[in-house]
Amino acid sequence: MDKFFRITERGSTVSREIRGGVVTFFTMAYIIVLNPLIIGNAQDADGNFLGGVAPPDNFALIAAGTALVAGVLTILMGVVANYPLALATGLGLNAFVAFSIASGMSWADAMGLVVIEGLIILVLVLTGFRTAVFHAVPAQLKTAISVGIGLFIALIGLVDAGFVRRIPDAANTVVPVQLGPNGTLQGWPVLVFAIGVLLVITLYVRRVKGAILISIIATTILAIIVEAVAEVGPTFTADGVNPKGWNLNVPALPDSLRPPEVGDRPAL
């Protein structure tokens, strides 16, 4: 493995690359959940949903496709290009496809445009034109783009954690935002999020190896324990909106591993 990927030659170690790969997987795995929620809920111009069935029945299909494509392309990137870069669905581009492209045509036509776009990019890469454009962009603009993408993803994390809530207005849009459901920080998910952020910062500052991975695992375990004890539940339920609930997924144990019922549940 070391010889094939030239790991030592590049100044790294096999164990470091394995840790980096695991951390990369955990930091990117959110797209497996988020992609079905974005493109799975969008209807095309004919009123059809992606996958041929209405949500949430199509979520598993889209999640499987998302994971399969990301896995295959990431493996090819390592084996063929010999470059440690993970590839997956782009957050933001999927929303653009779902709400700006598919809404004006069928899903088949929209995905056809995605294929054409990929072929055009391939031609630009093979001809060297993409590299020329990349070098022509000022370094300051490249930095600004990276910072902007980072802030965008950070805002999504804050919203999904319940730290920041979107405020629908009379037009049913989702801007602006505020702290918590009522301008204050409330709920167990917010506390778990804050503990996770503080933990990763502390471990990183103390130069602990695998700080991000350790923090992700520890925070996940904490979230599962909190849900098992407090029964927070999801944000959106059949009975309405639970402003202090979990977004995306509820960190619950399988039924066979759940602890027995206890008396009163603590509330935050």
Q: For residue 246, report the phi and psi dihedrals to the nearest 5 degrees.
A: -80, 140
Which secondary structure element, helix H or strand E, spans residue 177, and what is its range? strand 177-179
CB atoms under 10 Å from CB of 88, counted, come to 20
pLDDT, position 80 = 93
Lowest mean pLDDT among 41-45, 121-125, 172-176, 210-214: 172-176
Quote the CA–CA distance of 173 and 203 in Å, as a whole number: 39
Q: For residue 230, report the phi and psi dihedrals to the nearest 5 degrees.
A: -90, -15
pLDDT in tens, 100-109: 999 999 999 9
pTM: predicted TM-score of the whole model, two decimal places? 0.69
Average pLDDT over residues 86-113: 90
Q: Which amino acid is at 52?
A: G
CA angle 240, 243, 246 (to 5 degrees): 100
CA angle 18, 22, 24 (to 5 degrees): 115
- Pick left, alpha or beta for residue 41 (phi over 0 → left; psi -120 to 50 → alpha; otherwise beta): alpha
CA angle 99, 102, 104 (to 5 degrees): 95
What average pLDDT does the structure give for the chain? 87
Confidence of residue 9 (pLDDT cuts 50, 70, 90): very high
Which secondary structure element, helix H or strand E, spans residue 158, and what is its range? helix 139-160
pLDDT in tens, 37-59: 899 999 999 999 999 999 989 99
Which residue shows structure tokens 């407090």?
230
Domain boundaries, the chain: 1-136, 139-268
Tokens coding 93 = 């581009």
